[in-house]
A and B are shown apart, each in its own frame.
Chain A
Amino acid sequence: MIEFRGIEKIYPPNTVALQGVNLKINAGEFVSIVGQSGTGKTTLIKLLTAEERPTRGKITIGDWDITKIRRSEIPTLRRQIGVIFQDFKLLPKKTIFENVAFALEVCGASVGRIKTIVPQVLRIVGLDEKADRYPKQVSGGEQQRVAIARALIHRPKILVADEPTGNLDSINTREIADLLLKINEFGTTVLLVSHNRELVNSLRRRVVTLEQGTVISDQEVGKYVL
Chain B
Amino acid sequence: MFAALFRIIKFSSQDFWRNFWLTTATVVVLVLTLVSINFLITLNFLTKTAVAQVEDKIDVSVYFKPGVAESEIGNIKSYLLSLSGVKDVIYVSPEEALRDFTKKHENDAVIKESLEEVGENPLGATLIVKAHDPADYPEILEVFDDAQYANIIQEKSFEDHEAIIKKIDSISEKAKSTGFGIAGLFAVVAVLIGFNTVRMTIYTHREEIGVMKLVGAANWFVRAPFLASGVFYGIFAVFFTILLTFPAIGFAEPYLAGFFGGAEFNLLGYFSQNFLQIFGWQFVGVVLLNIVTSSLAVGRYLKV
Contacts and interface: CB of A to CB of B under 8 A. Distances in A.
Contact of B218 (A83, A107, A111): A107
**Interface of chain B, main secondary structure:** helix
Nearest to A71: B219
Contacts of A78: 213-216
Contacts of B218: 75, 107-108
B215 to A, nearest CB: 4
Interface residues of A, number: 24
Contacts of A122: none
A107 B304 contact: no
6 contacts: A75-B218, A76-B216, A78-B214, A103-B215, A106-B212, A109-B3
Given A89-B214, A108-B218, 12 more contacts: A77-B216, A89-B210, A106-B215, A106-B217, A107-B215, A107-B221, A108-B1, A108-B3, A108-B4, A150-B215, A151-B215, A154-B215
Contacts of A72: 219
A91 interface: yes
Interface size class of B (residues with CB under 8 A): 10 to 19
Contacts of B217: 75, 106-107
Among B207, B210, B211, B219, max chain A CB count under 10 A is at B211
Interface string A165-186: 0000000000000000000000
B3 A75 contact: no
Nearest to B210: A89
Interface of A: 71-72, 74-79, 83, 89, 91, 102-103, 105-111, 150-151, 153-154
Contacts of A154: 215-216
Interface of B: 1, 3-4, 7, 207-208, 210-219, 221-222, 304
Nearest to A153: B215
A75 B7 contact: no
Contacts of B221: 106-108
A103 B219 CA distance: 14
Given A91-B208, A108-B4, A71 B214 contact: no
B216 A91 contact: no
Contacts of A71: 219, 304
Nearest to B208: A91
3 smallest CB-CB distances across A and B, nearest first, come from A79-B216, A78-B216, A106-B217
A107 B221 CA distance: 8
